[in-house]
Amino acid sequence: MRRYTLHKDSRLKSQKSISEAFVGGKSIQVYPIRVYFYHLPTTDHAGVKAAFVAPKKNFKKAVDRNRIKRQLREAYRLNQYLLKDEIPDAWQVNVVFLYYIREKLNYTVIEKATQKVLKRLAKEMNVKQ
């Protein structure tokens, strides 16, 4: 049985790791989400770490930013198996989800976009093997 949880250790919190994803990583875009990611081989803690961003430039109110990030986290939490089942065991993958448009969309649109982007990301990871 699948466990649909998003533990604290699977969140990307390091400012250095987040900026590495933006600067040195690749990106995939599916409306309204852009995903920046990079992977590295590791021996100790393999897996996927994710961060979620709603820019202050696009959403001035913190309430709106927090709601969008909450929706992104929930969509990722329910569909993370699409990515985790496909990556090799010895890889650490850091992913940053960026909500790049200026309008607030329905949760179903965000979830479908998250599913598409995770499938494309898994496909990209299989090519890298």
pLDDT for position 127: 67
In the chain the domains, ranked by start, together with CATH numbers, are 8-128 (3.30.230.10)
27-77: pLDDT as tens digits? 999 999 999 999 888 867 678 999 999 999 999 999 999 999 999 999 999
pLDDT for position 47: 87
pLDDT for position 75: 98
Task: Look at the pTM and tell me if it is higher than 0.85.
Answer: yes
Radius of gyration from C-alpha coordinates of the chain: 14
Judge contact between 20 and 38, C-beta under 8 A. Answer: yes
74 CB-contact burial (10 Å; exposed 0-12 / middle 13-18 / buried 19+): middle
Question: Which region, left, alpha or beta, applies to residue 47 given φ > 0 means left and ψ of -120 to 50 means alpha?
Answer: left
Residues near 22 by beta carbon (within 8 Å), at least 6 away in sequence: 36, 96
73-125: pLDDT as tens digits? 999 999 999 998 888 778 899 999 999 999 999 999 999 999 999 999 999 88
Residues near 13 by beta carbon (within 8 Å), at least 6 away in sequence: 51
Judge contact between 48 and 39, C-beta under 8 A. Answer: no
